[in-house]
Structure 1
Amino acid sequence: MESPIRQLIDTVAWVLIDNGRILCARPRGKDVFYIPGGKREGSETDLETLVREVAEELTVELSPETAVHVGTYEADDADVVVRMACYTAEYRGVLTASSEIEALAWFGFGDRDLVPPVDQLLFDDLAAAGALR
């Protein structure tokens, strides 16, 4: 029996680590925290998506020339597969939750269970590299 074709959700995420903790955001109306970022629109590149999403969510301007790819992860989440390309990048401005973000939080590895499966894979790699405590 063939397995059904599953929907792929293609996302890009901004990895911001400070003092062994990673910035996470909880969208308004949701009960789960995510690594900031979001879905690609049309033919956007990873960096175009990243810059747009971070500006929309956190009201800061990323410097695309400083972006470094730290990994791409895929995980099953309910009836879909989520792919998340992760980048670090320098930013200008003050981190502020926009109207679409209800809360910001700095998570350590102990908070891993509070994020979706694809984000947990990033947490695992960051912890193994000694970047996340």
Structure 2
Amino acid sequence: MSEQVDIHKAGGVIIKDRHFLVTRAQGKDVFVAPGGKLELGETAVQALIRELMEEVQMSVEEQDVEQIGTFTAQAAGNESKVVEMEVFLVNNASGEPVPTSEVEEVMWVNSQTTGVKMGSIFEHDVMPLLKQKDLID
């Protein structure tokens, strides 16, 4: 996409039993993988590690994070903004996901899960890639 990027985010794909973890923020109806906006001076990996702890109380080491792609889409709920998301496969995350004050619900999904509204990057880019790599059903 040649559009100017307004928001830079990092997202983490955590896979368990051929499903990946998604979260739904307080007051929202869309599920996305845990992650969020980069803070000033932060790398995408640093942002992801911070967000995993803030959102779902899971910890991960930098060496256990592998980039699987960078994707661009219009921001959900604000189509005038463009989001660029660096998405990482997270290996060896410690702990079970626990919703925090930022997250209302956590869920494990795969390509066969129905009735769950997914963020566009995860629905159109990430989930097909995970299926193609035979990481999820």
Scaled to the shorter chain, the TM-score interval is 0.7 to 0.9
Letter in 2 for 1:43: G
Tell which deviates more after alignment, 119-128 or 35-44.
119-128
Percent of aligned positions that are identical: 26
Letter in 1 for 2:53: A
Determine whether 1:100 maps to 2:102: yes
Asked if structure 2 preserves the Cα contact closer than 8 Å seen for 1:25 and 1:33, the reply is: yes
Q: Aligned residue for 1:115?
A: 118
CA distance in 1, matches of 2:131, 2:96: 26
Asked if structure 2 preserves the Cα contact closer than 8 Å seen for 1:76 and 1:118, the reply is: no
The alpha-carbon deviation at position 76 of structure 1 amounts to 2.4
TM-score (norm 2): 0.85
TM-score (norm 1): 0.87
For residue 32 of structure 1, the aligned residue among 30, 33, 36 is 30
CA distance in 1, matches of 2:136, 2:112: 9
The total of aligned residue pairs comes to 129
CA distance in 2, matches of 1:80, 1:124: 24
Q: Aligned residue for 2:82?
A: 81
CA distance in 1, matches of 2:128, 2:74: 16
Q: Aligned residue for 1:129?
A: 133
The alpha-carbon deviation at position 7 of structure 1 amounts to 5.2
SS in 1 for 2:121: helix
- Aligned-residue CA RMSD in angstroms? 1.8
Asked if structure 2 preserves the Cα contact closer than 8 Å seen for 1:6 and 1:81, the reply is: yes
Tell which deviates more after alignment, 6-15 or 121-130.
6-15
Point out where structure 2 has 5 or more consecutive residues left out of the alignment.
none
The alpha-carbon deviation at position 6 of structure 1 amounts to 5.3
CA distance in 2, matches of 1:18, 1:104: 13
Q: Aligned residue for 1:63?
A: 61
**Residue deviations 1:76-126 (CA, integer Å, cap 9, x gap):** 242222211111232223321112110000111134862111112111111
Asked if structure 1 preserves the Cα contact closer than 8 Å seen for 2:5 and 2:84, the reply is: no
**Residue deviations 1:20-67 (CA, integer Å, cap 9, x gap):** 211000011111111100000111011110111111001121111211
Q: Over alpha carbons, which structure has the higher Rg? A: 1
Asked if structure 1 preserves the Cα contact closer than 8 Å seen for 2:67 and 2:86, the reply is: yes
